[in-house]
Amino acid sequence: MSELPEVGPLLQRMGQELTAWLDRTQRTDPAMVGIHTGGVWVAEQLRDQWLPDAPLGTLDIAFYRDDFAQIGLQQGVRPSELPFSVDDRHLILVDDVLMTGRTIRAALNELFDYGRPASVTLVTLVDIEARELPIRADILGASLALPPGQRVKLAGPDPLHLTLTNVAQP
């Protein structure tokens, strides 16, 4: 794999695409929801620059993971905070890395426990194309094809940058 993309230009393009998407789909008064931890960092940056009036909520999907019974509770679990009603609201769900789709499935399950949103727009910084569920981003920063055993991770929060990590192969 060659060099990883810089986060700043990705966020700039994503912000432009997101505001155009919201205008085109007539989704007014959206609220942003970042998935801990990297998704929150991306959501904060997008909101600060492109949607400063949008409220920001955070999700920690640890209890909603489908592998919770196998791996148990992760360290550093935080409470989710949604300081607005999700009912009939246009939500922008933000994550840093889209891989299997299981994190997004868990986040959607949690969001629907809070109420019934009018719509959910998925925004992800990076898609590493290792999907196990039929989930795709509406707004995407970059798509990366990684060799087996490599993952990309968002480090930050100041500055945000992508790093490669190696994972053990079964």
Q: What is residue 1's predicted lDDT score, i.e. its pLDDT?
A: 47
Beta bridge partners of 90: 119
Q: What is residue 148's predicted lDDT score, i.e. its pLDDT?
A: 82
- What φ, ψ does residue 83 adopt, rounded to 5°? -80, 35
**What is the dihedral sign for C-alpha 155, 13, 19, 132?**
negative
**Ordered per-residue pLDDT tens for the chain, 170 residues:** 458 999 999 999 999 999 999 999 999 999 999 999 999 999 999 999 999 999 999 999 987 766 544 555 555 667 899 999 999 999 999 999 999 999 999 999 999 999 999 999 999 999 998 889 999 999 999 999 888 888 999 999 899 999 998 887 65
DSSP one-letter code for 87: T
Contacts of 11 (CB under 8 A, 6+ apart): 42, 45, 46, 49, 125, 141, 160
Q: What is residue 2's predicted lDDT score, i.e. its pLDDT?
A: 56
DSSP one-letter code for 101: S
